[in-house]
Amino acid sequence: VMTDDPAAVVAASDVDLVVEVMGGIEPARTLILAALAAGKPVVTANKALLAAAGAELFAAAEAGGVDLLFEASVCGGIPLMRPLRESLAGDRILRVTGIVNGTTNYILTRMTEAGQSFADALAEAQALGFAEADPTADVEAHDAAAKAAIIASIAFGAEVTDSDVYREGITSITAADIEAARELGYVVKLLAVAEERDGKVGARVHPAMVPVQHPLASVREAFNAVFIEGEATGEVMLYGRGAGGFPTASAVLGDVIDAAKNLASGGRGATIGKLVRREMLPMEGVVSQYYLELEAADRPGVLAVVADVFGRHEVSIESMQQRGIGEDARLIFVTHAARESDLRSTVAELRETDAVLRVGSVLRVLGSGE
Protein backbone atom coordinates (compact mmCIF):
# COMPACT_ATOMS: atom_id res chain seq x y z
CA VAL A 1 0.00 0.00 0.00
CA MET A 2 1.39 3.38 -1.02
CA THR A 3 0.10 6.38 0.90
CA ASP A 4 0.94 9.98 1.71
CA ASP A 5 -1.03 9.79 4.96
CA PRO A 6 1.06 7.87 7.52
CA ALA A 7 -1.23 8.99 10.35
CA ALA A 8 -4.08 7.05 8.74
CA VAL A 9 -1.91 3.94 8.56
CA VAL A 10 -1.01 4.24 12.24
CA ALA A 11 -4.69 4.64 13.16
CA ALA A 12 -5.96 1.81 10.92
CA SER A 13 -7.66 -0.98 12.87
CA ASP A 14 -5.99 -3.70 10.80
CA VAL A 15 -2.46 -2.43 11.55
CA ASP A 16 -1.03 -4.33 14.52
CA LEU A 17 2.56 -3.08 14.53
CA VAL A 18 4.23 0.11 13.31
CA VAL A 19 7.75 0.33 11.85
CA GLU A 20 9.17 3.86 11.66
CA VAL A 21 12.21 4.40 9.44
CA MET A 22 11.45 7.88 8.09
CA GLY A 23 14.01 9.58 10.34
CA GLY A 24 14.00 13.07 11.78
CA ILE A 25 12.07 14.38 14.76
CA GLU A 26 8.69 15.24 13.27
CA PRO A 27 6.34 13.79 12.16
CA ALA A 28 8.05 10.62 13.44
CA ARG A 29 7.60 11.58 17.11
CA THR A 30 3.88 12.32 16.74
CA LEU A 31 3.25 9.12 14.79
CA ILE A 32 5.13 6.92 17.27
CA LEU A 33 3.32 8.46 20.23
CA ALA A 34 -0.01 7.88 18.47
CA ALA A 35 0.83 4.23 17.82
CA LEU A 36 1.93 3.63 21.40
CA ALA A 37 -1.18 5.34 22.78
CA ALA A 38 -3.28 3.05 20.59
CA GLY A 39 -1.58 -0.01 22.08
CA LYS A 40 0.48 -0.80 19.00
CA PRO A 41 4.13 -1.83 19.38
CA VAL A 42 6.66 0.25 17.47
CA VAL A 43 9.99 -0.62 15.87
CA THR A 44 12.22 2.33 15.02
CA ALA A 45 15.72 2.97 13.70
CA ASN A 46 15.50 6.70 14.44
CA LYS A 47 18.56 7.62 16.50
CA ALA A 48 17.98 11.38 16.19
CA LEU A 49 14.51 11.07 17.71
CA LEU A 50 15.57 8.69 20.49
CA ALA A 51 18.51 10.94 21.37
CA ALA A 52 16.22 13.97 21.59
CA ALA A 53 13.03 12.50 23.07
CA GLY A 54 13.78 8.96 24.17
CA ALA A 55 12.47 9.45 27.71
CA GLU A 56 9.10 10.65 26.41
CA LEU A 57 8.79 7.71 24.01
CA PHE A 58 9.77 5.08 26.58
CA ALA A 59 7.28 6.53 29.06
CA ALA A 60 4.57 6.36 26.39
CA ALA A 61 5.42 2.72 25.66
CA GLU A 62 5.20 1.96 29.38
CA ALA A 63 1.83 3.72 29.65
CA GLY A 64 0.53 1.88 26.59
CA GLY A 65 1.82 -1.48 27.77
CA VAL A 66 3.51 -2.19 24.44
CA ASP A 67 6.98 -2.67 23.01
CA LEU A 68 9.18 0.12 21.68
CA LEU A 69 12.14 -1.62 20.03
CA PHE A 70 15.12 0.24 18.55
CA GLU A 71 18.06 -2.10 17.97
CA ALA A 72 18.88 -0.51 14.60
CA SER A 73 19.21 2.99 16.07
CA VAL A 74 22.79 2.43 17.27
CA CYS A 75 25.53 0.54 15.40
CA GLY A 76 23.24 -0.99 12.77
CA GLY A 77 23.85 -4.73 12.62
CA ILE A 78 25.67 -5.02 15.96
CA PRO A 79 23.33 -6.38 18.65
CA LEU A 80 23.89 -3.79 21.38
CA MET A 81 20.60 -2.51 22.76
CA ARG A 82 19.27 -5.99 23.55
CA PRO A 83 22.42 -7.09 25.44
CA LEU A 84 22.36 -3.87 27.48
CA ARG A 85 18.64 -4.28 28.26
CA GLU A 86 18.56 -8.02 28.80
CA SER A 87 21.83 -9.99 28.88
CA LEU A 88 23.60 -7.51 31.17
CA ALA A 89 20.53 -6.51 33.18
CA GLY A 90 21.91 -8.31 36.23
CA ASP A 91 25.21 -6.45 36.14
CA ARG A 92 26.16 -2.89 37.01
CA ILE A 93 27.58 -1.24 33.92
CA LEU A 94 30.55 0.95 34.74
CA ARG A 95 31.49 2.30 31.34
CA VAL A 96 30.73 1.81 27.66
CA THR A 97 33.36 2.92 25.14
CA GLY A 98 32.68 2.58 21.46
CA ILE A 99 33.68 3.28 17.90
CA VAL A 100 30.16 4.02 16.70
CA ASN A 101 30.67 5.95 13.45
CA GLY A 102 32.00 4.07 10.45
CA THR A 103 32.79 7.16 8.36
CA THR A 104 35.22 8.66 10.85
CA ASN A 105 36.78 5.29 11.59
CA TYR A 106 37.39 4.78 7.87
CA ILE A 107 39.00 8.21 7.58
CA LEU A 108 41.26 7.66 10.60
CA THR A 109 42.19 4.18 9.35
CA ARG A 110 43.31 5.58 5.99
CA MET A 111 45.25 8.37 7.67
CA THR A 112 46.98 5.75 9.84
CA GLU A 113 47.61 2.98 7.32
CA ALA A 114 48.02 4.89 4.06
CA GLY A 115 49.45 8.16 5.36
CA GLN A 116 46.64 10.15 3.79
CA SER A 117 45.68 13.65 4.85
CA PHE A 118 42.28 14.20 6.42
CA ALA A 119 41.02 15.82 3.20
CA ASP A 120 42.20 12.95 0.99
CA ALA A 121 40.82 10.28 3.32
CA LEU A 122 37.47 12.08 3.45
CA ALA A 123 37.35 12.33 -0.35
CA GLU A 124 38.03 8.60 -0.62
CA ALA A 125 35.30 7.83 1.93
CA GLN A 126 32.86 9.94 -0.08
CA ALA A 127 33.85 8.22 -3.34
CA LEU A 128 33.20 4.83 -1.75
CA GLY A 129 29.85 5.90 -0.32
CA PHE A 130 30.96 5.81 3.32
CA ALA A 131 30.57 9.58 3.71
CA GLU A 132 27.81 11.94 2.63
CA ALA A 133 28.38 14.87 0.28
CA ASP A 134 27.99 17.02 3.41
CA PRO A 135 29.99 15.02 5.98
CA THR A 136 29.38 17.41 8.90
CA ALA A 137 27.18 15.05 10.92
CA ASP A 138 29.93 12.44 10.85
CA VAL A 139 33.22 14.35 11.05
CA GLU A 140 31.92 16.82 13.65
CA ALA A 141 30.59 13.87 15.69
CA HIS A 142 26.89 14.80 15.74
CA ASP A 143 25.98 11.25 14.68
CA ALA A 144 28.21 9.69 17.33
CA ALA A 145 26.86 12.05 20.01
CA ALA A 146 23.28 10.94 19.32
CA LYS A 147 24.36 7.32 19.68
CA ALA A 148 26.27 8.10 22.88
CA ALA A 149 23.11 9.63 24.36
CA ILE A 150 21.09 6.50 23.61
CA ILE A 151 23.80 4.20 24.98
CA ALA A 152 24.07 6.22 28.20
CA SER A 153 20.29 6.24 28.62
CA ILE A 154 19.98 2.47 28.30
CA ALA A 155 23.16 1.52 30.18
CA PHE A 156 22.36 3.70 33.21
CA GLY A 157 18.58 4.13 33.10
CA ALA A 158 19.07 7.87 32.85
CA GLU A 159 17.46 10.53 30.71
CA VAL A 160 20.36 11.62 28.51
CA THR A 161 19.82 13.66 25.35
CA ASP A 162 22.27 14.55 22.61
CA SER A 163 22.53 18.07 24.06
CA ASP A 164 24.00 16.52 27.24
CA VAL A 165 26.86 14.92 25.30
CA TYR A 166 30.26 16.63 25.13
CA ARG A 167 31.34 16.56 21.49
CA GLU A 168 34.56 16.98 19.51
CA GLY A 169 34.99 15.88 15.90
CA ILE A 170 38.06 14.73 13.99
CA THR A 171 38.65 17.68 11.65
CA SER A 172 41.61 18.92 13.70
CA ILE A 173 43.48 15.59 13.61
CA THR A 174 46.72 15.97 11.65
CA ALA A 175 49.22 13.62 10.06
CA ALA A 176 51.64 14.63 12.84
CA ASP A 177 49.14 13.41 15.46
CA ILE A 178 48.77 10.09 13.65
CA GLU A 179 52.54 9.64 13.42
CA ALA A 180 53.12 10.60 17.04
CA ALA A 181 50.46 8.12 18.11
CA ARG A 182 52.17 5.38 16.11
CA GLU A 183 55.56 6.11 17.67
CA LEU A 184 54.06 6.12 21.17
CA GLY A 185 52.21 2.84 20.65
CA TYR A 186 48.73 4.23 20.03
CA VAL A 187 46.20 4.67 17.24
CA VAL A 188 43.77 7.60 17.00
CA LYS A 189 40.07 6.72 17.15
CA LEU A 190 36.86 8.70 17.58
CA LEU A 191 35.39 7.31 20.80
CA ALA A 192 31.92 7.57 22.28
CA VAL A 193 32.09 7.13 26.05
CA ALA A 194 29.22 6.68 28.50
CA GLU A 195 30.10 6.21 32.16
CA GLU A 196 28.80 6.43 35.70
CA ARG A 197 31.11 8.09 38.21
CA ASP A 198 30.40 9.40 41.72
CA GLY A 199 26.67 8.89 41.22
CA LYS A 200 26.68 11.01 38.06
CA VAL A 201 26.29 9.99 34.43
CA GLY A 202 28.67 11.23 31.75
CA ALA A 203 28.50 11.01 27.97
CA ARG A 204 31.11 12.33 25.57
CA VAL A 205 32.49 11.90 22.07
CA HIS A 206 36.00 12.91 21.09
CA PRO A 207 39.16 11.66 19.37
CA ALA A 208 41.48 9.70 21.63
CA MET A 209 44.73 7.80 21.48
CA VAL A 210 44.01 4.11 22.00
CA PRO A 211 46.83 1.73 23.05
CA VAL A 212 47.59 -0.71 20.23
CA GLN A 213 46.99 -3.65 22.57
CA HIS A 214 43.44 -2.52 23.39
CA PRO A 215 40.72 -4.43 21.46
CA LEU A 216 39.30 -1.18 20.04
CA ALA A 217 42.63 -0.40 18.35
CA SER A 218 42.11 -3.27 15.90
CA VAL A 219 38.76 -1.96 14.62
CA ARG A 220 39.47 -0.83 11.05
CA GLU A 221 37.80 1.03 8.24
CA ALA A 222 34.00 1.32 8.42
CA PHE A 223 33.50 -1.27 11.17
CA ASN A 224 32.13 -0.40 14.61
CA ALA A 225 32.77 -1.91 18.03
CA VAL A 226 31.50 -1.31 21.55
CA PHE A 227 33.58 -2.17 24.63
CA ILE A 228 31.48 -2.69 27.77
CA GLU A 229 32.90 -2.79 31.29
CA GLY A 230 30.68 -4.36 33.94
CA GLU A 231 31.21 -4.77 37.65
CA ALA A 232 30.51 -8.52 37.56
CA THR A 233 30.95 -9.42 33.90
CA GLY A 234 34.22 -7.62 33.36
CA GLU A 235 35.02 -6.69 29.77
CA VAL A 236 32.78 -7.50 26.79
CA MET A 237 33.26 -6.27 23.22
CA LEU A 238 30.70 -6.35 20.42
CA TYR A 239 32.02 -5.87 16.86
CA GLY A 240 30.55 -5.67 13.39
CA ARG A 241 29.13 -3.51 10.64
CA GLY A 242 27.54 -0.49 12.21
CA ALA A 243 25.82 0.90 9.15
CA GLY A 244 24.60 -0.01 5.70
CA GLY A 245 21.31 -1.20 4.28
CA PHE A 246 21.56 -4.90 5.02
CA PRO A 247 22.92 -4.70 8.60
CA THR A 248 20.32 -2.07 9.51
CA ALA A 249 17.53 -4.04 7.83
CA SER A 250 18.57 -7.14 9.76
CA ALA A 251 18.32 -5.26 13.06
CA VAL A 252 14.92 -3.81 12.16
CA LEU A 253 13.58 -7.20 11.08
CA GLY A 254 14.86 -8.80 14.28
CA ASP A 255 12.88 -6.27 16.30
CA VAL A 256 9.79 -6.87 14.15
CA ILE A 257 10.02 -10.61 14.82
CA ASP A 258 10.40 -10.02 18.56
CA ALA A 259 7.44 -7.64 18.63
CA ALA A 260 5.30 -10.07 16.61
CA LYS A 261 6.14 -12.93 18.99
CA ASN A 262 5.19 -10.78 21.96
CA LEU A 263 1.92 -9.79 20.29
CA ALA A 264 1.09 -13.42 19.61
CA SER A 265 1.80 -14.45 23.20
CA GLY A 266 0.16 -11.41 24.75
CA GLY A 267 3.39 -10.40 26.45
CA ARG A 268 6.09 -7.75 26.19
CA GLY A 269 9.83 -7.77 25.85
CA ALA A 270 12.25 -6.29 28.39
CA THR A 271 11.04 -2.78 29.13
CA ILE A 272 13.07 0.39 29.57
CA GLY A 273 10.69 1.89 32.10
CA LYS A 274 10.92 5.49 33.17
CA LEU A 275 14.26 7.17 32.52
CA VAL A 276 15.27 9.32 35.47
CA ARG A 277 16.87 12.72 35.00
CA ARG A 278 20.18 12.46 36.88
CA GLU A 279 23.01 14.85 37.51
CA MET A 280 25.39 14.83 34.57
CA LEU A 281 29.11 14.46 35.05
CA PRO A 282 30.60 17.71 33.71
CA MET A 283 33.44 17.37 31.24
CA GLU A 284 35.67 19.24 33.68
CA GLY A 285 35.26 16.33 36.11
CA VAL A 286 36.38 13.64 33.67
CA VAL A 287 39.62 11.88 34.59
CA SER A 288 41.91 10.75 31.77
CA GLN A 289 45.46 10.57 30.55
CA TYR A 290 46.38 13.19 27.96
CA TYR A 291 48.68 13.69 24.99
CA LEU A 292 49.98 17.23 24.45
CA GLU A 293 52.17 18.51 21.65
CA LEU A 294 53.81 21.93 21.80
CA GLU A 295 56.64 23.95 20.30
CA ALA A 296 59.08 25.71 22.59
CA ALA A 297 62.24 27.75 22.33
CA ASP A 298 65.27 25.43 22.30
CA ARG A 299 67.26 27.01 25.10
CA PRO A 300 68.39 26.02 28.61
CA GLY A 301 65.74 26.02 31.31
CA VAL A 302 62.71 25.74 29.03
CA LEU A 303 61.90 22.19 30.06
CA ALA A 304 62.01 23.20 33.72
CA VAL A 305 59.61 26.09 33.03
CA VAL A 306 57.18 23.81 31.19
CA ALA A 307 57.39 21.08 33.83
CA ASP A 308 56.70 23.66 36.52
CA VAL A 309 53.46 24.65 34.79
CA PHE A 310 52.32 21.03 34.78
CA GLY A 311 53.24 20.65 38.44
CA ARG A 312 51.40 23.78 39.59
CA HIS A 313 48.18 22.38 38.18
CA GLU A 314 48.77 18.91 39.63
CA VAL A 315 49.20 17.24 36.25
CA SER A 316 51.89 14.57 36.44
CA ILE A 317 54.00 13.79 33.37
CA GLU A 318 54.33 10.10 32.44
CA SER A 319 56.64 10.56 29.44
CA MET A 320 58.20 13.32 27.35
CA GLN A 321 59.90 13.32 23.96
CA GLN A 322 61.85 16.20 22.42
CA ARG A 323 62.47 16.65 18.72
CA GLY A 324 64.28 19.44 16.98
CA ILE A 325 62.44 21.64 14.48
CA GLY A 326 64.99 24.15 13.24
CA GLU A 327 66.02 26.45 16.08
CA ASP A 328 63.04 25.38 18.19
CA ALA A 329 61.96 22.16 19.87
CA ARG A 330 58.83 20.07 19.52
CA LEU A 331 57.83 18.59 22.86
CA ILE A 332 55.43 15.67 23.18
CA PHE A 333 53.99 14.83 26.59
CA VAL A 334 51.82 11.99 27.84
CA THR A 335 50.43 12.64 31.30
CA HIS A 336 49.32 10.35 34.07
CA ALA A 337 45.59 10.35 34.80
CA ALA A 338 44.46 13.91 35.52
CA ARG A 339 41.22 15.80 35.90
CA GLU A 340 40.07 17.60 32.75
CA SER A 341 39.77 20.91 34.61
CA ASP A 342 43.42 20.69 35.71
CA LEU A 343 44.55 19.81 32.21
CA ARG A 344 42.68 22.78 30.75
CA SER A 345 44.27 25.11 33.29
CA THR A 346 47.68 23.71 32.35
CA VAL A 347 47.09 24.30 28.65
CA ALA A 348 45.81 27.83 29.27
CA GLU A 349 48.94 28.76 31.22
CA LEU A 350 51.25 27.12 28.69
CA ARG A 351 49.71 29.31 25.99
CA GLU A 352 50.65 32.38 28.04
CA THR A 353 54.20 31.18 28.76
CA ASP A 354 56.89 33.07 26.83
CA ALA A 355 59.04 29.98 26.30
CA VAL A 356 56.14 28.14 24.64
CA LEU A 357 55.73 29.20 21.02
CA ARG A 358 52.65 27.11 20.25
CA VAL A 359 50.41 24.58 21.95
CA GLY A 360 49.34 22.10 19.30
CA SER A 361 47.15 19.05 19.65
CA VAL A 362 45.68 17.99 22.97
CA LEU A 363 44.15 14.50 22.90
CA ARG A 364 42.80 12.22 25.58
CA VAL A 365 44.46 8.84 25.99
CA LEU A 366 42.42 5.72 26.65
CA GLY A 367 43.97 4.18 29.73
CA SER A 368 44.17 4.96 33.41
CA GLY A 369 41.11 6.91 34.46
CA GLU A 370 39.23 6.00 31.28
Residues acting as catalytic residues = 147
- Rounded to whole angstroms, how far apart are CA atoms 18 and 25? 16
- Measure Cα distances from 302 to 50, 113, 208, 219 in Å: 51, 35, 28, 39
Going by DSSP bridges, is the β-strand pair 68-69/200-211 parallel, antiparallel, or unpaired?
unpaired
User: Beta-carbon neighbour count of residue 75 at 10 Å?
Assistant: 33
336 burial (CB, 10 Å; 0-12 / 13-18 / 19+) is middle
Name 219's Cβ contacts closer than 8 Å, sequence gap at least 6.
99, 105, 189, 225, 239
Q: Which helix (H) or strand (E) holds 346?
A: helix 340-351
CA-nearest of 143, 130, 203, 202 to 170 is 143
Question: How many C-alpha atoms does 353 have within 13 Å on its Cβ side?
Answer: 24
Cis peptide before 215 (omega within 30 of 0): no
Three-state SS for 306? helix
Kindly give the residue spans of alpha helices, DSSP state H, lying in 91-240: 102-113, 118-127, 136-139, 142-156, 175-184
